[in-house]
Structure 1
């Protein structure tokens, strides 16, 4: 696993480079599910296509269309779940979000990359103090 860390770090940097200056935007497909899919591809996975949606309501409908009630269920169907102590650079982590959705982030080794609600101008390192709802090995 240790020899895999440089590849995982490179893929995480590639994901960060794409979304660093990309504001969160439902209409422009800049959401945490798009971030996660891009990252999965950067890590060598072949995730399913994301249905087209351009609003929170459309996203909820698209998620229901996958047969999952929430993002954790969707991620469980794609990746093996791991414990918080097992998170490596490049793994996906779910943290509490807003009233509609939790937030998928990418692990950057001690920090999580995602959009912050106070500054959605692009993904940034988040200092998560609260609860981690789940983590998945990518």
Structure 2
């Protein structure tokens, strides 16, 4: 145990706490369980101070809130708060955005060889392991 990096150990513990708040809880616009809520919970767990998320309860409301921040996409929003990194350089607890099939792309948390997030085919299941597919599955990654 003495040879473990204390920063990595702390990141793992913080990530486990943030993920526990969303695990086995379905995605829901009206209950504020979306990928941006997940990302904010993770960032706060790692000590970042961020502004409150506006109260939106639909994809349209989320788009309006995003534009109010001067952003058209989720990656532009994350660029405002965190340094962008190469996806393969992500550590436990960092955020990634993967291409989504619906109106929004999906934010996931890097968690020990997995990427945890909401998937449009499994919204009722809560967080799932997101599997990168295709030639360019990542839109970006951010160091928290």
TM-score of the alignment, normalized to the shorter chain, above 0.5: yes
SS at match of 1:5: helix
Q: Which residue does 1:69 correspond to in 2? A: 72
Q: Which runs of 5+ in 2 are unaligned?
A: none
Q: How does 1:1-138 map to 2 (within 5 A)?
A: 2-120=5-123, 121-130=125-134, 131-138=137-144
Deviation at 1:35, TM superposition (A): 0.3
TM-score by length of 1: 0.95
Distance in 1 separating the partners of 2:55 and 2:130: 28
Note if contact 1:111-1:128 (Cα within 8 Å) is conserved in structure 2.
no
Q: Output one character per residue of 1:77-133: Cα deviation in whole Å (capped at 9) or x when no partner.
A: 000000122110000000011331110100012210001222112112222233111
- Report which stretch shifted further, 33-42 or 111-120: 111-120
Provide structure 1 residue ranges, at least 5 long, that are not aligned to the other structure: none
Partner SS state of residue 41, structure 1: helix
Between the two proteins, the alignment pairs up a number of residues equal to 137
> Alpha carbon RMSD of aligned pairs, Å?
1.1
SS for the counterpart of 2:64 is: helix
